[in-house]
Structure 1
Amino acid sequence: MSRPAEEFISRRMASHRPAPLRKYGPWLRGPNIISFAGGLPDPEFFDHRGLREAYDHVLDTDPGRALQYANGEGEPDLREQAARMLTEEGYATEPADLMITTGSQQGISLIGTVLIDPGDVILVESPTYMSAVRAFGLSGATMISVETDLDGIVPDDLQAKINQYQPKLVYLIPTFQNPTGITIPAERRDAIAEVISRNDILLVEDDPYSELRFFGESLPPLASDPRLEGRAILLSTLSKVLAPGVRIGWLRAPAALKPLFVSAKQAADMHTSAIDQMAAAYYADQYMHDQHRLDPVRAAYRERCECMGSWIDKLFPEGTRRTYPDGGMFIWVGLPDGYDTDQLLGPAIESGVTFLPGSSFYADNPVRSNFRLSFCTHGTEKIEEGVKRLAAAIESL
């Protein structure tokens, strides 16, 4: 008798955790649901006219190249634009330093392919980006959380975990972290760079949100610290500042590793869509030199963040804690002890609002009273209504 298909599943996938909202999918598409769950940029700010111009230009001027197979390393024009952007952010970069990826999420997967053997240890923030936990988990990595406070990962505990576990790399989101919104300040970055530089470990820095700052002064990537030369990998993307559907990101890696990343990418998808790369390069050249281009987005996100925070403060139970982001997309909320936000999700959906439970964002030892809210997708009226619905769901517990 033939075995059922599910018995052929690999051990990696058998231990894979599905997204927490998956089982609620049929209830999430209704017009009355207010979703704070996804990190979705507001489509109101997608420059569809500029993008139409970019794609028209590419198809009018070089359709054969745009619709053909491409180089796995990425289109030269796009790598030039990405290098310019990184250099302007304080990380001197040449086009040859970069490889284009199909969104920065692919970069995380490629790191798992190129660098991780089953059982290798990766140190992560507590909490951390849930899709990085899934991607690294599929590579067979053992992920260990490092103590994290309101200034980010704690250097003393980072050193202690390095001593204890001999990790291969540490994965960090230093600016407007997902899920907390926390930004690591300059003094803490300096201490983290010192710890990494004196140990046999790589830094992987994920930087999708830094251009969405609406308070304070910009900070250069942690990976740009001179002590980390040859020891850092930086991931970035256009998904949050152009459009996620274009699926453009890039990976900056030490020269000795870059050819391996290109080989792994070619095995995964041959290359990122040539037409998308060429259109993104044209758009960046024509429009992204303007430092004020994102001012309307930043202003709207700041207003929405403040609106969400103020209603949380008014309506959530006494003892609730939350973060106060200077940019990005997320507020991290901690309900008083005794609440379980996995159990809250069902009543919240029945009330017409969604969020992501905190347990999704921990590599180990999840804190179930925490959860993530995204403030960027909706205007202030919907945010107010959504927080009120969520407060009612909390009260029902």
Structure 2
Amino acid sequence: MANNGLSSNNDLRLFIAVFLFWCYSFGFLMVAVEATNRSTAFLLVLAPIITYIVIKRLSIPPPSDDVVNEVLGRWLEESEDGSESDSAPPTIGVWAHRFAGLDAPENTLEALDTCIENGAKAVEFDLILTADLVPVVFHDPRIDRMTNCEGDIRQLPWSKVKSFDVSTNHPFKSKYPDAHIPHFEDVVRKCVENQIHMVIDIKDDRPEVVTVIVEMFAKYPDLYRLALTSSFNPLTIWNIRKANPSIVAGLTWRPHYLSCSSYSPDDSQCVTYPHSAPVLYAYRLLDLCHKYVYNNICHSLIGFSVALLEKDQITREVINRWKKQNVRVMAWTVNAPIEKLMFMKQYSVPIITDSMLGPTDPTK
């Protein structure tokens, strides 16, 4: 039975591969035939030129290397080549994902305190807005996974959101009883007071989030040397950097972002959005376009300084391609000790991890 199932899967993959081959071939033939038409040929030349001009006009240059080094620390390979000096920024190899959400309830002040106690230099956390546009630190749009309640946090008022106990389903809930969703400013203030570097990962696409970020940087100037803003949405990052080009930014990417609500290297474990089959395959094609634009156009337009990539997508080739654009690669989410060592020591890539246990110092 197992062999029959494997054979069926292989047959399906073969059919899809053949189908896509003819789609690409047919598309190429259509372009080749249409190119013989003068108006089509003119359009094929004019469209790229217009697009290039528009991108150049809208592009935002990245911050200087000195500013990026302040926020992210030196490139990891610099810690091994003898270039370290007393005045150089620190080397930051490990960022605590959602304040190390395996060690304490994720994205809470309790988890942040635990990170600080464990000597963390840098953390990553999520920003989302409530129904009344109060910025809070929380990852999921829905509260179901973290609490015993249900609902979309973007449709709930802050007065209700702040009362939820998010330690309910954590394995160490007895150690961290009654942990709550924190206000964004409370988290920023504590990080600034303790000089903790931070990745602020934006999980809300509403335009008001841009104002929240810009105003927070104005209120806490230390953020210019401590904080990186990131998002899956390039428009959000572009709007932030358009409003304030001094803000250091990153752009996050994973496969199947438009077609799947969650990703796994095993396709059978990916959770697709509830679309009909034709719509789903249309989104899969858009995912291919999204990948191409991310790799080849977004940096010129947005001027981001870090490519935050799902760890299984990172290779030497990927690292070198981004390095040629003076863009760093950051791997998420890396939890296995052997993988932590591989990324930090072999690839010289900083990691975002759910636990501060295991290798955390790239210089040792």
Question: TM-score, normalization: structure 1?
Answer: 0.25
Query: Which structure has the greater CA radius of gyration?
Result: 2
Select the structure with the greater relative contact order (CA < 8 A; seq sep ≥ 6).
Answer: 1
